[in-house]
Amino acid sequence: MKVQSYLAFDGNCQEALNFYGELFDAKVENRITYEDKKIDVPSSYRKKLQHAELKGKGVNFMAYDAAPDTPINSGNQVHMSVDFNQKEEAKSVFENLSKNGVVHHEFREREWGFFGRCTDEFGINWMVNAKN
């Protein structure tokens, strides 16, 4: 069995995947746009992503730009959780994710290790953990 996250964006999926790809040293794969699809979307939306995957060592999720007739609502239904072995690496990733977003729980030591929770600039919720 394999469980993956599938993230929906409001027209900025490629920008978000570029950011996450650089942060996690991962590549965008299986990139499909609305360009040649028989879907009723405005011409200005044709180059947006209908599907893409971000893949790297320990990173694998799917994402797309929801069609304009599918409203995106910010909420807390999805959190991406990232586990690290080293506190310094986790802290750096947390700082980058939260830089232009909102920090909900500062990255600090907890009962189980180090943890921080934030919402990034794209509206995605993140939980960052480290063992030491």
Tens-digit pLDDT profile for residues 38-57: 778 888 889 999 899 999 99
Q: Where are the alpha helices (DSSP H) in 1-132?
A: 13-24, 87-98
Same domain as 57, residue 12: yes
Token match 């699809």: residue? 37
Q: Quote the domain boundaries for residue 113.
A: 79-130
Assigned domain for 59 exists: yes
What would the mean pLDDT of 118-128 be, rounded to a whole number? Answer: 93
Residues 6+ apart with CB under 8 A from 14: 28, 48, 49, 52
Q: Give the number of domains in the chain.
A: 2
What would the mean pLDDT of 80-84 be, rounded to a whole number? Answer: 91
- The domain that holds 84 is classified in CATH as 3.30.720.110
Assigned domain for 39 exists: yes
> Counting beta carbons within 10 angstroms of the beta carbon of residue 34, is it exposed (0 to 12), middle (13 to 18) or buried (19 or more)?
buried
Instruction: Tell me how far apart the alpha carbons of residues 89 and 77 are, in angstroms, rounded to a whole number.
Output: 26
Same domain as 58, residue 85: no
- The domain that holds 48 is classified in CATH as 3.10.180.10
Assigned domain for 1 exists: no
